[in-house]
């Protein structure tokens, strides 16, 4: 009798465990059942037998116009330089968004390699909503320049976020699996992406002697004609291509044509952790003609990616010539 009772209890526990695992999606075999597959677990792999290209080094010495403080010790800075050498990256612009003591510390860290790094400062917004704001912030900006800053965050300007984050998080949002993590559709009272781009355009028009670099294609990947229209009107506007490789590699023919048309206004940039794999992923997008591949280390969108196969003249301008033109204007 005792064994029977124990067996019943064990069966009940096992049944409860199976039900719980199924309910919360913890059982590995349940994740493979299409009826219970979660969007967050969807990681397709391409089955097409097509060329796979590894581009070990940029075709032209590249200038990364959008990096951050990835190296935080002298040893890490040394390692980053060795990595840049291997990848063919000549220089990186380090956006600190910092002022004061913090900027000075970061500048000192990277000063060992003045030809490999430019350290850009931020802008001190302390008391921006108070009377008298302005002169102190300008004074600190001038001080950062004297220390060694050669650019400022608001001139390389982040405008909005990817379009899919503003859309309803429903079955029609084809960027849902990435956008949901950063959703903005549930944020009341915010300026939408179109409004943010309008603000950028007014600033660029108001300051024709100032060079603006709108990072991430000004987040106009879904409608590059909007960015192209601004390029047509404002010669002081450029855009960097950082952290939007997956968004643009989904429509390769249209995007390659955009690069061709505006080859004098786009600059290479990453805004991703500096690793050899990261650099080579960006080179593959720009240089190869690879089709229907995924890069889950760099993108959590569900769609496949395609190489843009940009021409050599376009590549040279995007990798370095346009950046040099911007940097030499100062």
Which tokens hold the place of 51?
């060329």
Question: Which domains are delineated in the chain?
Answer: 1-37 (no CATH), 46-97+153-327 (3.20.20)
Nearest C-alpha neighbor of 179 from the set 192, 191, 164: 164
Looking at residue 16, its pLDDT comes to: 41
pLDDT reported for residue 34: 87
Q: DSSP characters for 251-290?
A: SHHHHHHHHHHTTTTEE----S---HHHHHHHHHHHH---
Distance (Å, whole) CA 1 – CA 222: 70
Q: What is the pLDDT of residue 30?
A: 53
State both tokens at 157.
């300007």
pLDDT at 33 (0 to 100): 85
Per DSSP, 303 falls in state: S
Percent of the chain with pLDDT over 90: 84
Averaged pLDDT score across all residues of the chain: 91
d(CA 198, CA 193): 9
Q: pLDDT at position 11, please?
A: 44
Question: What value does the mean pLDDT take over residues 167-181?
Answer: 94
Which pLDDT score, from 0 to 100, does residue 26 have? 45
| Cα(130)–Cα(139) distance, integer angstroms | 17
Confidence check: pLDDT of 60 > 50:
yes
- Average the pLDDT over 33-52 and give the result: 90
The pLDDT of residue 330 is 63
CB 77 within 8 A of CB 113: yes
Mean pLDDT within 280-290: 98
Model confidence at 53: pLDDT above 50: yes
**Could you give the percent of the chain with pLDDT greater than 70?**
90
Residue 262: Cβ within 10 Å count: 20
Q: Give the range among 22-31, 71-80, 127-136, 227-236 with minimum mean pLDDT.
A: 22-31
pLDDT at 154 over 90: no
Decide: pTM greater than 0.85: yes
In this prediction, residue 6 carries a pLDDT of 47
CB 92 within 8 A of CB 67: yes
The mean pLDDT of 134-140, rounded to a whole number, is 95
| pLDDT attached to residue 13 | 42
Q: Which of 37-41, 239-243, 277-281 has the lowest mean pLDDT?
A: 37-41
pLDDT given for residue 39 in this prediction: 82
List pLDDT tens digits, range 4-30.
Answer: 444 444 444 434 433 344 444 444 555
Residue 1 pLDDT exceeds 50: no
Q: What is the pLDDT of residue 139?
A: 96
Is pLDDT above 80 for 111?
yes
CA distance 51 to 33: 31
Q: Edge-to-edge strand order for the sheet containing 266-267?
A: 156-157, 212-214, 237-240, 266-267
303-329 pLDDT, tens digit per residue, is 999 999 999 999 999 999 999 999 987
Residues with Cβ within 8 Å of 120's Cβ and at least 6 positions away in sequence, in order, are: 93, 94, 95, 96, 149, 150, 151, 152, 153, 156
Q: Give the tens place of pLDDT for each residue, 193-245.
A: 999 999 999 999 999 999 999 999 999 999 999 999 999 999 999 999 999 99
Average pLDDT of the segment spanning 53-72: 98
């Amino acid at each position: 009798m005792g064994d029977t009772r124990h067996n019943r209890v064990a069966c009940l526990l096992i049944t409860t465990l199976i039900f719980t695992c199924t309910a919360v999606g913890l059982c590995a075999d349940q994740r493979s059942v299409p009826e219970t597959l979660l969007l967050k677990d969807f990681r397709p792999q391409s089955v097409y037998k097509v060329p796979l290209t590894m581009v070990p080094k940029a075709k032209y010495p590249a200038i990364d116009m959008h990096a951050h403080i990835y190296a935080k010790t002298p040893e890490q800075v040394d390692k980053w330089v060795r990595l840049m050498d291997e990848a063919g990256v000549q220089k990186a612009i380090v956006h600190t968004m910092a002022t004061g003591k913090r900027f000075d510390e970061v500048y000192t860290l990277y000063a060992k390699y003045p030809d490999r790094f430019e350290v850009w400062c931020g802008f001190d917004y302390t008391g921006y909503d108070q009377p008298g704001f302005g002169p102190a912030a300008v004074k600190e900006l001038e001080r950062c320049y004297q220390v060694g800053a050669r650019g400022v965050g608001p001139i390389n300007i982040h405008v909005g976020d990817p379009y899919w984050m503003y859309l309803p998080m429903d079955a029609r949002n084809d960027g849902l699996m990435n956008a949901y993590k950063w959703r903005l559709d549930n944020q009341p009272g915010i300026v939408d992406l179109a409004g943010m781009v309008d603000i950028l355009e007014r600033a660029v028009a108001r300051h024709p002697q100032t060079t603006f670099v709108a990072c991430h294609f000004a987040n106009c990947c879904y409608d590059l004609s909007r960015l192209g229209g601004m390029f047509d009107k404002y010669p002081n506007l450029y855009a960097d291509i950082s952290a939007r490789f997956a968004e643009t590699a989904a429509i390769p023919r249209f995007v390659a044509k955009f690069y061709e048309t505006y080859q004098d206004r786009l600059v290479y940039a990453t805004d991703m952790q500096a690793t050899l794999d990261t650099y080579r992923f960006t080179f593959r997008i720009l240089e190869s003609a690879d089709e229907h591949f995924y890069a889950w280390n760099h993108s959590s969108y569900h769609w496949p990616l395609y190489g843009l196969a940009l021409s050599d003249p376009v590549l040279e301008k995007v990798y370095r010539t346009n950046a040099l033109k911007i940097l030499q204007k100062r």
